[in-house]
């Protein structure tokens, strides 16, 4: 395990993307968002993505330095085409537009289509919550067949994330952010590179056998080599039986079909689509009831007697807050295989050995 200081990691990852044709501003933005994912404990959406992003860029799936286009613009609704730019560049534009429209109208909807991997969806819910707004996000990944629907063994769905952000006065927001699969694909990636193992039965092979071996999803691979989910014989399972599978289906239709990105298919170019809705509580909650009721109900949930083997009952966002505090203080731990893959990518794009050594100093 390698532990790297937060600022060192941001600077190093920024240098990787600067050497991969991104502007200094874009490179720093990508590096900051990826590192923030690690800070919150979402390693699946963190710097482990660096080799993947650079590979996608070389393939032409992601285009550096894109300026998104607003193709539909009404007082309360917009459609934003990311033109396959990095998600960390195009998504903030779409979210900012949704925030502006919501503050003007009390309610807004923004469809983002053709975005590069937009990272941890919770970032965008937090962005809206910082402006006092509730937000709801339905996301899909076109071209990213990973998940078997309930009752099946073949890949038909993306991991189809769903996210809700709720602001709180003077406190961190409540953010629910999850893939509609048992695990996000990035957690399979983490497990394949020496990180946290997958839950029992997270995957299903072609013969219906349940598994937690990443080879089921990726096929053969070397420790620091690429991972390709099209090479495996199996799939990730949808969580919660028919319920998770059904929610994933809705994410495909709203985040994919409705945005114009397209629900996922093997013949589509990789792109994220996100259908997001923004609500201004001040417009609804004229009696200022909302925030106090959040506090009452949150305390009521946390006061639940915990089941044996559990320290306490948590609400969404609690684990992330603790992990962020711990890793800000102690640094970000990365498995050796993960760090080796990032370093190999850095060397491929021309980052110097001095910079590589500096990152771990």
Residue 217: inside a domain: yes
Task: Please check the confidence at residue 298 and state whether its pLDDT lies above 90.
Answer: yes
Task: Kindly report the average pLDDT of the chain as a whole number.
Answer: 96
Residues 17 and 109 in one domain: no
Is 299 within a domain?
Answer: no
Inter-residue contact 34 to 5 (CB < 8 Å): no
**Same structural domain, 116 and 260:** yes
pLDDT on residue 350: 97
Whether 129 contacts 167, CB under 8 Å: yes
- 15 with 95, same domain: the answer is no
Are 252 and 121 in the same domain?
yes
Q: Is the model's pLDDT at 10 over the cut of 90?
A: yes
Q: Which one, of 339, 308, 353, 260, lies nearest residue 51 by Cα?
A: 339
Examine the domain organization and report whether 88 and 168 are in the same domain.
Answer: yes
Model pLDDT, residue 75:
97
Structure pTM? 0.94
Q: Does residue 311 fall inside a structural domain?
A: no
> Domain check: are 88 and 223 in the same one?
no
- My answer on whether 91 and 161 are in the same domain is yes
Q: Is residue 306 part of a domain?
A: no
Please give the Cα distance from 251 to 141 (Å, whole number): 10
Q: Label residues 330-341 b or e (16+ Cβ within 10 Å = b).
A: ebbbbbebbbbb
Whether 84 and 135 share a structural domain: yes
- State percent of the chain over pLDDT 90: 96
Domain of residue 215 covers: 183-237
278 and 158 in a common domain = yes
With respect to residue 307, please indicate whether it lies within any of the assigned structural domains. no
200-204: average pLDDT: 97
pLDDT for the residue 236: 97
The pLDDT value given to residue 133: 98
Contacts of 202-207 with CB under 8 Å at 24 or more apart are: 202/236, 202/237, 203/234, 203/235, 203/236, 203/237, 204/148, 204/153, 204/234, 204/235, 204/236, 204/237, 205/153, 205/233, 205/234, 206/153, 206/154, 206/233, 206/234, 207/153
Q: Total domain count for the chain?
A: 3
Residue 312 has pLDDT above 90, yes or no: yes
**pLDDT tier for residue 224 given thresholds of 50, 70 and 90:** confident
248 has pLDDT over 90: yes
What average pLDDT does this structure show over 38-56?
95
Q: Are residues 154 and 267 in the same domain?
A: yes
Residues 253, 105, single domain; the answer is yes
What sign has the CA pseudo-torsion 124, 125, 126, 132?
positive
The answer to whether the CB of 137 falls within 8 A of the CB of 164 is yes
Is residue 176 domain-shared with residue 211, that is, in the same domain? no
Q: Using an 8 Å Cβ cutoff, are 345 and 51 in contact?
A: yes
Cα distance between residue 177 and residue 165, in whole Å: 8
Q: Where are the alpha helices (DSSP H) in 40-158?
A: 50-59, 87-105, 122-129
């Amino acid at each position: 395990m390698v532990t790297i200081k937060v600022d060192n990691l941001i600077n190093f990852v920024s240098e990787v993307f600067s050497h991969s044709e991104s502007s200094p501003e874009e490179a720093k933005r990508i590096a900051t968002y990826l590192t923030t994912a690690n800070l919150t404990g979402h390693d699946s959406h963190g710097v482990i993505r660096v080799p993947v992003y650079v590979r996608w860029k070389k393939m032409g799936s992601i285009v550096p330095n894109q300026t998104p286009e607003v193709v539909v613009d009404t007082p309360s609704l917009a459609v934003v085409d990311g033109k396959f730019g990095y998600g960390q560049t195009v998504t903030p534009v779409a979210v900012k537009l949704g925030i502006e429209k919501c503050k003007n109208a009390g309610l807004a909807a923004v469809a983002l289509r053709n975005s590069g991997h937009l990272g941890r969806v919770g970032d965008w819910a937090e962005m809206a919550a910082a402006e006092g707004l509730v937000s709801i996000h339905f996301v899909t990944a076109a071209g990213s067949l990973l998940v078997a629907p309930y009752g099946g063994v073949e890949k038909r769905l993306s991991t189809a994330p769903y996210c809700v952000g709720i602001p709180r006065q003077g406190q961190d927001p409540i953010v629910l952010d999850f893939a509609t699969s048992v695990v996000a694909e990035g957690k399979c990636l983490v497990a394949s590179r020496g990180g946290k193992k997958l839950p029992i039965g997270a995957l299903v092979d072609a013969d219906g056998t349940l598994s937690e071996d990443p080879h089921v999803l990726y096929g053969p691979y070397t420790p620091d080599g690429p991972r390709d989910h099209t090479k495996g014989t199996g799939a990730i399972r949808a969580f919660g039986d028919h319920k998770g599978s059904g929610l994933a289906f809705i994410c495909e239709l709203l985040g994919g079909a409705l945005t114009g990105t397209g629900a996922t298919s093997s013949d589509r170019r990789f792109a994220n689509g996100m259908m997001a809705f923004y609500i201004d509580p001040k417009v609804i909650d004229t009696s200022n009831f909302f925030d106090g009721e959040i506090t009452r109900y949150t305390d009521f949930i946390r006061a639940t007697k915990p089941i044996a083997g559990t320290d306490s009952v948590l609400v969404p966002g609690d684990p992330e807050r603790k992990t962020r505090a711990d890793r800000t203080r102690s640094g970000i731990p990365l498995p050796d295989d993960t760090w080796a893959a990032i370093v190999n990518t850095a060397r491929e794009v021309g980052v110097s050995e001095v910079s590589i050594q500096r990152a771990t100093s």
